[in-house]
Amino acid sequence: MKLVAGLGNPGEKYAMNRHNVGFMAVDRIAEDHGFAPWRAKFQGRVSEGMLGREKVILLKPETFMNKSGQSIGEALRFYKLDPADLIVFHDEIDLAPGKLRVKQGGGHAGHNGLRSIHGHLGEGYGRVRMGVGHPGHKDAVPGYVLRDVPKADRDWLDDMLRGISDGAPHLVEGDAGRFQNAVALRLNPPRSSTTKPKSDAPKVEKPTEPESDDRSTLQKLVDRFR
């Protein structure tokens, strides 16, 4: 069993914030893979279902971002899971919009949601870093992540969420490479070509068969001097 948590802030006014892309990710997984309806539990909302052969609990903490560890820690203890069984989706300002990375363990890099999880569970959990870009100055970060994703960026965000949903079974089975490939295929689909590639080899003409000549010897001689 895996616990997959998306980080964000509860309430409609935060729904499309950059800080809420973690919520968006688990919502898309639940919708596309036929998970049970969301219900209140563990100071958040949970939904249960299957990804491939793995039973998965999806969780959206409603403790607000900087107390995410309270909700996630409670759920992890209830299901008797280890931090290694946890995967967290979160926004990442150190990655460009549309970039995604999978990471196991490590620091929280100042992210308030991860900082809270570290305080409750330590660092030995997995996380999916969803790039939202950087405002350019650290003092501008709080206001930047609490603003909505611009409409101009909704296309790449939707492609990323679709890719996350496509690859989610690989992610929970521990195949980060195939998961990231699924996301990449949505963000950068292969181009189809309608023209055949040119060959560098010279074209060889097929020899023609000589025509048969049924004329008599006399007729050939007459025709020669015409």
**Position 27, amino acid:** D
Q: Which of 200, 173, 170, 196 is nearest to 183 (CA)?
A: 170
- pLDDT score for 219: 61
pLDDT class of 225 with cuts at 50, 70, 90: low
Domain 2-187: top CATH class: alpha beta
Enumerate the domain spans of the chain.
Answer: 2-187
Cα(187)–Cα(99) distance, rounded to whole angstroms? Answer: 9
**Position 94, amino acid:** D
Q: Kindly tell me if the per-residue pLDDT of 194 is higher than 60.
A: no
Q: Kindly tell me if the per-residue pLDDT of 126 is higher than 50.
A: yes
CA 155, 167, 93: angle at the middle one, nearest 5? 55
Residue range 96-109, pLDDT digits in tens: 999 999 999 999 99
Phi-psi region of 213 (alpha: psi -120 to 50; beta: other; left: phi over 0): beta
Of 19, 90, 111, 118, which residue is the catalytic one?
19
- pLDDT score for 189: 87
Q: Greater confidence, 109 or 223?
A: 109
Over the chain, what is the mean pLDDT?
90
- Long-range contact set of residues 187-196: C-beta below 8 Å, sequence gap at least 24: 187/98, 187/156, 187/159, 187/160, 187/163
User: Is 33 labeled as catalytic in the residue annotation?
Assistant: no
Which residues sit opposite 212 in a β-bridge?
A: none
